[in-house]
Amino acid sequence: MGFSIGDIDLDKLLEEVKGLFSKQKSFVQPSTVQTPTSINEPPTESGAYKTPIHGSWHNLGGFDLGMKRYDGRTGHQGVDMSAPAGTPVYALTTGVVNKVGTDTLGGNIVGVQHSGGIWSYYAHLASARVHDGDKVDSNTIIGTVGNTGNAGNPKDPLKTQEGGRTWPHCHFGIKQNGAWVDPSKFFSIPAYDPTFAKNPGKYQKFWLSDDAKQEAEAFNMREHTSKRRAAFTRDVGKLVKLANQFYKLVSD
Ligand SMILES: [Zn+2]
């Protein structure tokens, strides 16, 4: 026999709470993808650059300084790396974060200063995962793929996604001694695929390698767990309120 208030079955609620606790305990943290590699590792040599999205992405728009834009601007100073929202974005190579912020064009952005006058720029991120002054390398997740900033501009010809936003992608740019340069100087870039660009949504569920998929899933699982933890805290708060109400009810 259990207590109940209205249609709330407290015994059932308690079982659910217990269930949440046991799940919480048995959860195994995925590999520490966010931890930079050992500081004893030799610094990355010039040329040891890694693609910011590891293994799986489509070219949604390439580097073209003369290109006329739908919004009147000229030039596309980077490459649009398209991958499912939430895909981890890594630093190009060893460096120090010197820009983290939000603006109307880039949305959530991160900038990293590297040696040799190289600066890398990551935009439209769902969120940034680093802070100003953080030391990073090509194993550090600096953020996740999203469509913040002008990736949400309704005039954008690529606004093919539900809700009128451009498909999730990381706009990635590199400055060398203060001037934008073609990222293809640093790592290989797949050819722009007009078939993909016409309907990126069709490809959002596809991955080019199992490793990339597993990595993204492990990362998203960790995200999911922290969100769940927040929701759980809220639920406990509600439960305490409920208990107080119940106590008042029986003691009045
Ligand atoms: Zn772009």
DSSP reduced 3-state for 169: strand
> What's the mean per-residue pLDDT of the chain?
76
Q: Which two tokens stand for residue 212?
A: 């990339």
Helical spans, DSSP H, in 140-184 = none
C-alpha to C-alpha distance for 159 and 112, rounded to whole angstroms: 28
Q: Which two tokens stand for residue 201?
A: 């949504």
How many angstroms from the chain centroid is the CA of residue 202? 20
Nearest CA to 187 among 38, 42, 55, 41? 55
Ligand 1 centroid to residue 80 C-alpha, Å: 5
One-letter identity of residue 239: L
The domain ranges of the chain are 4-30+213-251, 58-206
Ligand 1 centroid to residue 139 C-alpha, Å: 23
Q: How far is CA 205 from CA 52, 85, 202, in A?
A: 19, 10, 7
Q: What is the pLDDT of residues 18-60, one digit of tens each?
A: 665 555 443 333 333 333 343 333 344 444 899 999 877 888 8
Ligand 1 centroid to residue 77 C-alpha, Å: 7
Ligand 1 centroid to residue 138 C-alpha, Å: 21
Ligand 1 centroid to residue 43 C-alpha, Å: 29
Q: Is residue 98 within 8 Å of residue 110, measured between CB atoms?
A: no
More confident: 87 or 195 = 87
Ligand 1 centroid to residue 7 C-alpha, Å: 52
Ligand 1 centroid to residue 192 C-alpha, Å: 13
Q: Is residue 50 within 8 Å of residue 187, measured between CB atoms?
A: yes
Ligand 1 centroid to residue 56 C-alpha, Å: 17
Q: Which range among 76-80, 164-168, 184-188 shows the weakest confidence by mean pLDDT?
A: 164-168
Ligand 1 centroid to residue 158 C-alpha, Å: 11
Q: Which two tokens stand for residue 105?
A: 């064009």
CATH topology of domain 58-206: Glucose Permease (Domain IIA) (2.70.70)
Q: Can you give the pLDDT at residue 89?
A: 96
Ligand 1 centroid to residue 199 C-alpha, Å: 17
Q: Can you give the pLDDT at residue 26?
A: 38
How many angstroms from the chain centroid is the CA of residue 155? 24
Confidence band for 17, pLDDT divided at 50, 70 and 90: low
> Residue 245 pLDDT > 90, yes or no?
no
Ligand 1 centroid to residue 58 C-alpha, Å: 13
Helix-strand-coil percent breakdown of the chain, rounded to 5? 30, 25, 45
Q: Which range among 118-132, 146-160, 184-198 shows the weakest confidence by mean pLDDT?
A: 146-160
Q: What is the mean pLDDT of residues 138-158?
A: 78
Total Cβ atoms within 10 A of residue 162: 6
Strand partners, 109: 101
First CA to last CA distance, the chain: 23
Ligand 1 centroid to residue 101 C-alpha, Å: 17
Q: Is residue 88 within 8 Å of residue 54, measured between CB atoms?
A: yes
Ligand 1 centroid to residue 51 C-alpha, Å: 16
Q: What is the pLDDT of residues 220-230, one digit of tens each?
A: 566 666 667 77
> Residue 85 pLDDT > 60, yes or no?
yes
